[in-house]
Amino acid sequence: MKYLIAVMVLLLVILIASLWVGHGSYPAKWQLESEIAEIKQSNQKQTDLNRQIRAELEDAQSGNAAVEERARSELGMIRSKETFYEVILDTRDEGQQLPKVKAAEEIVEEKSKQILQQ
């Protein structure tokens, strides 16, 4: 009877130890759960990016309005016979003067003069 109790206690200790050490243990399970959460978060970011790219593609295929909007916002392009005004907001004291606003033609002239001087 003593041997049977000793064997049962030994098996109980081995089973409890297997819950905390090795493959299938609680720490391994927790690690896998954290990896799953990271992968789900990464998948969500990729899904959002895919939606955004799909929307941009549909806009680009639908007509010239999206292309024109992108050219205006990212490249600073303007139509012919339009005047582009660059407004610079400044947080200076009230006693100081704000810089003069320049039209696109003036900016182009200044840059062309700078290029010619080089």
Domain ranges of the chain: 24-117
Model-level pTM? Answer: 0.43
SS3 content of the chain, % helix, strand, coil (to 5): 70, 0, 30
**Cα–Cα dist 74/60, whole Å:** 15
Q: What would the pLDDT profile of 63-115 be if each residue is shown by its tens digit?
A: 777 777 777 778 878 888 888 777 777 666 666 666 666 666 777 778 778 87
**Cα–Cα dist 55/68, whole Å:** 16
